Chains A and B, each alone.
Chain A
Amino acid sequence: MKKFIVSLIFALVGYTASAQTEFMITYQMGMPVGETSDYIGAFSGRGMGLEWRHHLTTTPVSFGFSVNWNVLYEKTEDRYIGDGVIADGKQYRNMNIVPILAHAHYYFNQDGIMNPYIGVGVGTYYINQRTEFGQWAIIEKNWHFGLAPEIGVIADVSSSLNMLFSVRYNHAFKAGNSTDHSYVGFNIGLVY
């Protein structure tokens, strides 16, 4: 699986985009909020994303698709108190989140050096939640429906390279035994 993903990345970055299509590769940081922050409260610097945007010629709008990967992690020694159960010990909490989203964006200054935009993503969030406790791990895997409103700016830093800065609120709705999950993503990327 890892070899496949790595091969995919190399293949994609070698893709020559047309004038109306942009390919983006982003480094993503994440701040858990809401019920997710009750489980993992730590800021995460582990994440990446691949995104394609196809721009319409008549209006400053693009439609696109992205595959992202965010990792949240926290070590805690909080006492666990449940229904008739109390536990003490070190816990290693991990969340591997893979948002797969369809996007729409609107641009305010498409021909300018700084091009701010707003957008929204709709799709699915695959979340693998793993709590390591003693010699055991509690693992929960679910596919969530989710939304991702976003604001950002694309900066024209050279004739052949643009950069992207964005803030994306990710919200994955309750699925299976899991609660809602949400986090704010801070993304920095290259636009080809």
Chain B
Amino acid sequence: MKTLILKVTAFVFAVAILQSCYPGGAEYTSDLDIAVSQFSSKEDLNSYETYYLVEDSMAIVGIGTDNVLSDAEQQVVIRRTDSLLQNQLGLTKVTDPTQENPTHLFIQLSQIAIQATGVSWQPPYWPGYPGYPGWGYPGYPGYPGYPGYGGGYSYYSYSNGTILIDFVDVSKTIAENEGKEDYNLILGWQGGLNSVLSRANSVQLINEGIEVLFDQYKAAKAGTEN
């Protein structure tokens, strides 16, 4: 009898060992959706009042694959973003900025459809800022630092299915690049949406994600905690 109890007990614990290392995890692709944003300072966010949005198209990294938004889908996302910039964030749109009458923010949407981890990247298409031809993306600062816990590690990665929204701080960028031939863009805020690629091409999900990112923007601007 005692031997039987011992064997049963050992078996139960052996099963427990095999089953219990990581008891939970994502069950559905929707469980993998994340929205991350980073910003330089609360004061900078509060200083932004006007924006110029690149409306021709999104910058697509991974052209040649089938897993990117179509031109029509891009326009839906751009239109929605434009509306949210005004209605959710309270920013004023500037359609024809010049060096004499600049806007505070220069905003570009991008979609990444390739895998690129731990490296900076340069969009293949940059439409140019009116009055500032030749701006590129050298020194792109990278995807928002991945949050850690207790001072833990910080990962960053561009991944299939990432949507980026970049808020370029125009005045800081001009000051930074005074007298230089190559421009470095200074970002005041950057938002990223990531999911599996099949979900990343859902216009509805992207629009919902952009609302979440802009809610993060408002939280950062207000300096709220959780």
Contact = CB atoms under 8 A, between A and B. Distances in A.
Interface of A: 2, 5-6, 9-10, 13-14, 25, 35, 39, 46, 48, 69, 71, 73, 75, 78-82, 84-90, 92, 94, 96, 129-136, 138-140, 160-161, 177-179, 190, 192
B17 A81 contact: no
Interface residues of B, number: 51
A90 B152 contact: no
Given A86-B37, A177-B152, A79 B226 contact: yes
A161 B2 CA distance: 8
B146 to A, nearest CB: 6
B183 to A, nearest CB: 23
B2 A160 contact: yes
A90 B23 contact: no
Contact of B23 (A46, A48, A135, A178): A46
Contacts of A39: 149-150
Nearest to A14: B6
Nearest to B41: A84
B175 interface: no
Contacts of A161: 2, 5
Interface of B: 2, 5-7, 9-10, 13-14, 16-18, 20-26, 31-41, 144-153, 155, 157, 159, 194-196, 212, 216, 219-220, 225-226
A140 B154 CA distance: 11
A138 B146 contact: yes
Contacts of B24: 73, 75, 92, 94
B16 A88 contact: no
A82 B220 CA distance: 10
